[in-house]
Structure 1
Amino acid sequence: ICSALNILTPMAASYGGWKLVCASRVFQGLCQGFIFPSTHTLLSKWAPVDERGKLSTYCYSGSQFGTVIMLSASGFLASSFLGWPSVFYVAGFAGVFWSILWYFYGGNSPAEFKSISPEEKEFIEKSLNVGEKTENKSTSTPWLQIFTSLPFLSLMLVHCGHNWGFWTLLTKIPTYMKNVLDMDIKQNALLSALPYLAMCLMSYVFSYLADVLSRREVIPLSVSRKLFNSIGHLIPMFALVALGYVTKDNVDLAVGLLTIAVGINSATYLGFQVNHIDLAPNHAGVLMGITNGAANVMSIIAPLLVGFVVQDSSDPYQWRLVFFISAAIYLVGNTLFVIFGRTEIQTWNSPQPKHTMNAKEKEIE
């Protein structure tokens, strides 16, 4: 649906103007809300425990890779004989092509995937402790247990805090650099793509380090999750604060800090962003849907707060307050995750017995 709407965007602009384009983008956003929960559900069924962080990193870093490709190519496409609509056509048809590949070659689980070898299937299912399903089991969502679980609540809060800081970096730092430092990085495709490229590349570095620590059993999984989560929060936190003190004479330093801050954020792929599967593999998609939904609300509130605080977009002191607020939210969210976060499977992950009629109920029936 998103790919089709992307292909139709130039037509929407021609016949409906900005209002129809905005409506189309809103609907695309609603449709894309299913992507992360669905991906988490697939990872919970396909990724062996020891490879969970690595495989989730490979999956989610794809969004950064795609952003780098399109930011780099959009200028060439727009200036070609096809014009600016070609940007939407290329991205849209790429999505359609992937959807076709997934339809024919994808699989919801090893048990449903026909092309998997018996050895690989056995390895994955043994790692995930997949046993025989019984008729008296169901995976109804334990809503009460979820929303009263301290590890889950800390996960939701750190996700919200991360989105606040991350989207402040991506959406407001360019405005700060333009109005305070007199540098418009949006006019340079390379500089615009640089933070995303750094995030994509650094995600593989962190994935390798986490894999080494896991294979050599240097630290337990819980420490690994909290370590990489802290790296992905604290370094961007300090970078945000430092950006507020960069002067016009050090624009290169500002670009470097922005790139480092966004790039280091990728460490969270091995932290809270995979923790949903740790807590409850049977409900990983639901948990991601809840936390991602709440976190996206922060993505809306953060820019609104910036607009409220920054009355003069050229005043560095007002921007510093924004950066300090975002840094504090980064710190609080990560601290809660370090204290209350867990990697053990929660008791409410287990399927609940279905209701069976007792003898008296059967007699009445």
Structure 2
Amino acid sequence: MLFLSVVINFFQRVSISAAIVPMTQSTAGAPYYDWTGYEKGIILSSFLWGYALSAVPAGLLAKRFGAKIVILSATGIGGIVAISYPLAATNGWETVVVLRVLTGIVQGAIYPCVHTLVAKWVPRTERGFLTTFIYAGSQFGSALIMVISGFVFESSMGWPGLFYITGGLSLAWALLYVWLGANEPATCRCISKGERMYIESLTGSSNNSQILTVPWMSILKSPAFLGLVAAHCGFNFGFYMLLTEMPTYMSSVLQLDVKSNAALSSLPYFVMGTLCFVVSPISDLLINRGTISVTTGRKLFNSIGQWVPMACLIGLGYMTAGETTEAIVLLTLGVGITAACCCGYLVNHVDLSPNFAGTMMGITNAVASLISILSPLMVGAILTDETDPTQWRVVFFVTSGVYLICNTLFVVIGKAEVQPWNDVPSISTTNPST
């Protein structure tokens, strides 16, 4: 259910990136709008405004009221918002921006809730694989929506159909999760006693973690946490730049039609999702056998996931319309290999503090989202001519520099050991028996 939640919520995120091409082309066979590159940049970046705003409060709400009700509400509300996009577009791009902000607000709750549930449900011996499996939904969701979009755009529904499908699936998932979801093994109605004891003994999350006081200053001053923030920022900046701009790049520079654009735009995310299931067992195997430490494993795989794409983007900067195959290969490799980050920074929150993994994800997500807002705005500022490969080269070089700096910080100061402030009662409580 968590995997499907991530898939469907990425439908909500990515649908506008795929749809904005036919929405602004008069040949698409559906209503179209003459939005400028600047206006499209605002639309694509506005999601992150709301996303950054809600990430930290969502983590706190998940701890206070339980992650189930928060993720359920966020997905359902997001579905209603998705269905509203076609009507909003008729009222101008500003109205679409408002809905994108609302989508960002509800989406900001997803990762903190998932991390809160992961801390309660995923045994540490399987943390790399199962966490990667859940978050692989982001890649499969991105890929599926790109593939589906090509067929939907050419159907009688046109681009509005993409939003109706997204909204319907979101509401269906929310209804199903009312019955199947549970905050923790202790409250699950379809679990054996043996399975419950096994999971609780290997999660490292305190049974009363929902009432622990968050050690804000200890978290924010922790070098290990700051390294994690840097890694998350690097991933988000590159991921959202490619996610939001790849369809435009393929259409304007590689000169692919709408259907080919949709299919090829999805390919890197299918590769990324597949590689998630390759790198995560390798990571768990190396760590569980003692071949490498947890800290070394997190840094190694995060470096693969950010520095290889950095090299690919540098090469992509020199591609032209006559080198479509080479450009697709670099895009596919560059996006696909970021799957290694699932065994790097993405699981590191739980490494540092099982009790506050959701809250920490909220913080890093908020900061990374604020940085990511700059990504489509940067593209909009640089690209005065979307067909000019030399301007795209500048975009790719800037993104490569962000990858280099952020992952270097993670390698230098990052850690993957439970921090002293995770066990708040032993540090701050006034009751020795607690």
Bin of the TM-score, shorter chain as denominator length: 0.7 to 0.9
Q: 1:106 aligns with which of 149, 156, 181?
A: 181
C-alpha deviation, 1:64, in angstroms: 2.0
**Aligned counterpart, 2:241:** 168
**2:331 matched to 1:233?**
no
2: CA distance, partners of 1:38 / 1:187: 36
**Aligned counterpart, 1:249:** 322
CA contact (8 A) 2:316 2:327 kept: yes
Q: 1:327 aligns with which of 378, 400, 403?
A: 400
C-alpha deviation, 1:311, in angstroms: 4.7
C-alpha deviation, 1:204, in angstroms: 1.3
User: What does the per-residue CA deviation read over 1:88-127, in whole Å, with 9 as the maximum and x for residues that have no partner?
Assistant: 2222121111112211111111112121111111111111
Matches within 5 A, 1:263-278: 263-278=336-351
Q: 1:35 to 1:317 in 2, by over 3 A?
A: same
2: CA distance, partners of 1:107 / 1:321: 47
The runs of 5 or more residues in structure 2 that have no matched partner are 1-76
C-alpha deviation, 1:319, in angstroms: 3.6
**2:335 matched to 1:262?**
yes
Q: 1:33 aligns with which of 108, 112, 123?
A: 108
C-alpha deviation, 1:180, in angstroms: 4.7
2: CA distance, partners of 1:76 / 1:131: 48
Q: 2:261 aligns with which of 182, 188, 209?
A: 188
Secondary structure of 1:245's counterpart equals: coil
Report the RMSD for the aligned CA atoms in angstroms.
2.5
User: What does the per-residue CA deviation read over 1:143-164, in whole Å, with 9 as the maximum and x for residues that have no partner?
Assistant: 1111110000111011112222
Secondary structure of 2:416's counterpart equals: coil
C-alpha deviation, 1:182, in angstroms: 4.4
**2:171 matched to 1:96?**
yes
CA contact (8 A) 1:139 1:350 kept: no
Q: How many residues end up aligned between the 2 structures?
A: 353
2: CA distance, partners of 1:86 / 1:314: 28
C-alpha deviation, 1:79, in angstroms: 4.1
Secondary structure of 1:188's counterpart equals: helix
**Aligned counterpart, 2:421:** 348
**Aligned counterpart, 1:338:** 411
Q: 1:22 to 1:306 in 2, by over 3 A?
A: closer
Paired residue type of 2:419: Q
CA contact (8 A) 2:205 2:355 kept: no
Q: 1:268 to 1:88 in 2, by over 3 A?
A: same
The runs of 5 or more residues in structure 1 that have no matched partner are 357-365
User: What does the per-residue CA deviation read over 1:254-286, in whole Å, with 9 as the maximum and x for residues that have no partner?
Assistant: 011001100111110110011011101111111
CA contact (8 A) 1:147 1:153 kept: yes
Paired residue type of 1:324: F
TM-score if structure 1 supplies the norm length? 0.88
1: CA distance, partners of 2:272 / 2:216: 34
**Aligned counterpart, 1:285:** 358
Q: 1:126 aligns with which of 182, 190, 201?
A: 201
**2:218 matched to 1:142?**
no
C-alpha deviation, 1:186, in angstroms: 7.4
**2:229 matched to 1:115?**
no
**Aligned counterpart, 1:22:** 97
CA contact (8 A) 1:310 1:318 kept: yes
CA contact (8 A) 1:50 1:214 kept: no
User: What does the per-residue CA deviation read over 1:33-72, in whole Å, with 9 as the maximum and x for residues that have no partner?
Assistant: 0001110010011111111111111111112212322222
Paired residue type of 1:216: R
After superposing the two structures, state which structure 1 stretch, 278-287 or 79-88, moved more.
Answer: 79-88
**2:96 matched to 1:9?**
no
Paired residue type of 1:302: S
1: CA distance, partners of 2:307 / 2:344: 13
2: CA distance, partners of 1:48 / 1:228: 20
Q: Which has the larger radius of gyration?
A: 1
**Aligned counterpart, 2:30:** none
Q: 1:215 to 1:278 in 2, by over 3 A?
A: closer
Paired residue type of 1:223: T
CA contact (8 A) 1:185 1:191 kept: no
User: What does the per-residue CA deviation read over 1:174-205, in whole Å, with 9 as the maximum and x for residues that have no partner?
Assistant: 54555555456775221121122111111111
C-alpha deviation, 1:316, in angstroms: 4.1
